[in-house]
Amino acid sequence: MNQVVTLKPDTRNYIWAPSALVGKELKLEKDILLGISGGRIESFRSVRKDDLPIEITGHPYFYALDEGLTLLPSLIDAHVHLALDGIDFNRAREQWNDQGAWQARVEGDIEKTLCSGVAAVRDGGDVRGLNLQVKKQVQKGRYKRLKIAATGQALRVKGGYGSFLGVDFDSADSVPGLVEMIAASGADQLKVVVSGVVSFYHYGMVKGLIMPAEELCYIVKEAQSHGLKVMAHASSAGAIERAARAGVDSIEHGYFVRPETLQLMAEKKIAWMPTIIPVAAQNRSPFRELWTPEEIDIITRTYEEHIKKLKSALDFGVPLGVGTDAGAAGVRHGTALLEELLLYARGELSPREILQAATVTNARIIGLEKDFGALLPGLKASFIAVKGKPLDNVNALKTLHTHFISE
Ligand SMILES: [Zn+2]
């Protein structure tokens, strides 16, 4: 049973949980009673179920979770593309011309995202800026309350990868005007496309141009002057190092990152979203059949080697987030996050490290740390209840029972 419960903002709500993962450290606490007011956590204290006063157990908005359930903060996916459907890239793009059709598709994908325990996402951009439109429509009540950190249109170098992601430029002169335009559109962060994508024909190769260092540094400086964090699509050792030196705020994908660049990222507090599932999804049906056995070997080796770097990134002190690239071929909105977390579990990370990446660290990366990411007074009342003990095994997330969200 996957149900989404919207907590009423205009009344007090109470939730009692037999177990809860509390604070930024996700400390396991027993018998927790949460008081919620105005959609935010007002208080939490430990009280046994039998000792709850009648004013609470008789309250019309009191939720008591069953034995065996654990309450933890809602999950966050820090890299999605709401403009794409995760099934058919060309069909999704054609649908952009039919507003009714793409809005209905997005509505379904928002529903699936919330049903997967994800309360907030950061969108990595599309050339039409549809992600920003969806964000504005959510605020008007057109869609369910998924919180979206939008980038609108991405910035890319002319002739480089990602014509579906955003607008291009061919000289540094156009940078200030473009950054100004994206900031004025209402984007929360700026997305830059620093490199192309990983090749499945030659191991270790990344296709496409790399954005020149001078332009990239200029973009970062201009974005900072508008108060925008920079989310940088970068794969290949050279492109990642260039982005890190330019001082971007997060590296997206980051395939073939070198240890010394991870160290530099840790020093500069640059976050990493490894996005394993878009590559791993190629290794299963229906995509697997599209590749030759040699290409499947390259795909497998690419993401297996990538997974091995997660633990060393954490050991260096890199803020490790989680993003799925949901919307990319084979990466479905909502369900992809759990798949990504299960891939993290193959990388020697503890369940706590994995859950922190998807909650407190992701909240900071997407700029919503005052609302999401931890069970703490003052933050939004946004939680998932799962069966079992997620700190012992992240597979517990498979048994999502309820997602509590606030308006
Ligand atoms: Zn992306």
Query: How confident is the model over 248-280, as pLDDT tens digits?
Result: 999 999 999 999 999 999 999 999 999 999 999
Q: Which residue ranges form the domains of the chain, and what is each CATH number? A: 3-73+374-406 (2.30.40.10), 75-365 (3.20.20.140)
Q: Is 76 left (phi over 0), alpha (psi -120 to 50) or beta?
A: beta
Tell how far the Cα of 162 is from the centroid of ligand 1, in angstroms: 9
Tell how far the Cα of 77 is from the centroid of ligand 1, in angstroms: 12
Tell how far the Cα of 381 is from the centroid of ligand 1, in angstroms: 29
Read off the tokens for 334.
């909502």
Residue 61 near residue 8 (C-beta atoms within 8 A): yes
Q: What proportion of the chain, given as a percentage, has pLDDT over 70?
A: 100
Q: Is 94 left (phi over 0), alpha (psi -120 to 50) or beta?
A: alpha
Tell how far the Cα of 80 is from the centroid of ligand 1, in angstroms: 6
Question: What gap in Å lies between CA 135 and CA 24, rounded to an integer?
Answer: 27
Tell how far the Cα of 125 is from the centroid of ligand 1, in angstroms: 7
**Mean pLDDT over residues 62-89, rounded?**
97
Question: What gap in Å lies between CA 299 and CA 279, rounded to an integer?
Answer: 7
Determine the distance from the C-alpha atom of residue 79 to the mean position of all C-alpha atoms in its chain, rounded to a whole number.
4
Question: What are the C-alpha distances in Å from 78 to residues 84, 102, 106, 198, 234?
Answer: 16, 22, 17, 20, 15
Tell how far the Cα of 36 is from the centroid of ligand 1, in angstroms: 35
Q: 101-125: per-residue pLDDT in tens?
A: 999 999 999 999 999 999 999 999 9
**Mean pLDDT over residues 96-101, rounded?**
95
| C-beta atoms surrounding 101 within 10 Å | 14
Tell how far the Cα of 232 is from the centroid of ligand 1, in angstroms: 10
Read off the tokens for 368.
């919503």
Tell how far the Cα of 208 is from the centroid of ligand 1, in angstroms: 15
The three-point CA angle 39-54-48 to 5° equals: 80
Tell how far the Cα of 315 is from the centroid of ligand 1, in angstroms: 26
Output the pLDDT for position 144: 87
Output the pLDDT for position 365: 98
Q: Is 348 left (phi over 0), alpha (psi -120 to 50) or beta?
A: left
Tell how far the Cα of 79 is from the centroid of ligand 1, in angstroms: 6
Tell how far the Cα of 165 is from the centroid of ligand 1, in angstroms: 8
Tell how far the Cα of 149 is from the centroid of ligand 1, in angstroms: 14
Residue 149 near residue 367 (C-beta atoms within 8 A): yes
Output the pLDDT for position 1: 52
Question: What gap in Å lies between CA 223 and CA 230, rounded to an integer?
Answer: 7
The three-point CA angle 9-12-16 to 5° equals: 115
Question: What gap in Å lies between CA 17 and CA 161, rounded to an integer?
Answer: 48
How would residue 407 be classed by pLDDT, with cut points 50, 70 and 90? confident
Q: 6-51: per-residue pLDDT in tens?
A: 998 889 999 999 999 999 999 999 999 999 999 999 999 999 999 9
Position 152, amino acid? G
Output the pLDDT for position 210: 94
**Mean pLDDT over residues 179-191, rounded?**
97
Tell whether the torsion through CA atoms of 285, 288, 289 and 290 is positive or negative: positive
Tell how far the Cα of 252 is from the centroid of ligand 1, in angstroms: 8
**Mean pLDDT over residues 324-344, rounded?**
97
Residue 89 near residue 332 (C-beta atoms within 8 A): no
Q: 130-143: per-residue pLDDT in tens?
A: 999 999 999 999 99
pLDDT value at 308 more than 70: yes
Q: What's the 3-state SS for the chain?
A: CCEEEEECCCCCEEEEEEEEEECCCCEEEEEEEEEEECCEEEEEEECCHHHCCHHHHCCCCEEECCCCEEEEECEEEEEECCCCCCCCHHHHHHHCCCHHHHHHHHHHHHHHHHHCCEEEEEECCCCCCHHHHHHHHHHCCCCCCCEEECCCCEEEECCCCCCCCEEEECCHHHHHHHHHHHHHCCCCEEEEECCCCECCCCCCCECCCCCCHHHHHHHHHHHHHCCCEEEEEECCHHHHHHHHHHCCCEEEECCCCCHHHHHHHHHCCCEEECCCHHHHHHHCCCCHHHCCHHHHHHHHHHHHHHHHHHHHHHHHCCCECCCCCECECCCCCCHHHHHHHHHHHHHCCCHHHHHHHHHHHHHHHCCCCCCCCCCCCCCECCEEEEECCCCCCHHHHHHEEEEEEEC
pLDDT value at 208 more than 90: no
Give residues whose Cβ lies within 5 Å of ion ligand 1: 124, 325
**Mean pLDDT over residues 157-180, rounded?**
94
Tell how far the Cα of 222 is from the centroid of ligand 1, in angstroms: 22
Tell how far the Cα of 122 is from the centroid of ligand 1, in angstroms: 10
Read off the tokens for 96.
């952009």
Q: What proportion of the chain, given as a percentage, has pLDDT over 90?
A: 96
Tell how far the Cα of 266 is from the centroid of ligand 1, in angstroms: 22
Q: Please provide the average confidence, as pLDDT, over all residues in the chain.
A: 96
Question: What gap in Å lies between CA 127 and CA 389, rounded to an integer?
Answer: 42
Tell how far the Cα of 111 is from the centroid of ligand 1, in angstroms: 20
Residue 384 near residue 117 (C-beta atoms within 8 A): yes
